Amino acid sequence: MDLQTLNVLAQLVASIGVIISLFYLAAQVRQNTRSARALVVDSLARSMHDLAFEMARSDQLLKDRDNLERLEKRD
């Protein structure tokens, strides 16, 4: 094999390596995107849960609910 043939083979191997790397990178980006979306959804659900829990614990909310029930009973 002469030097030119070795050069062509080296470029071919390098090109194949770049293509494989791009496919791997695309898979990693896709996985990272899914993970980020899951974290956002989990964070939102947690925030909604915390808000609902605080509302349920709130004394004022319980008083308002009791007042509403009394008003409904009078009607």
Tokens of 1: 């094999």
The predicted structure's pLDDT at residue 29: 98
Q: How far apart are the first and last CA of the chain?
A: 101
Q: Is the pLDDT of residue 75 over 70?
A: no
Whether the predicted pLDDT of 65 surpasses 80: no
Cα distances (angstroms) measured from residue 70 to each of 55, 59, 61: 20, 17, 14
Query: What's the token pair of residue 70?
Result: 């009394």
Give per-residue pLDDT as tens, 6-44: 999 999 999 999 999 999 999 999 999 999 999 999 999
Q: pLDDT tier at 64 (50, 70, 90 boundaries)?
A: confident
User: Would you say the pTM of this structure is higher than 0.75?
Assistant: no
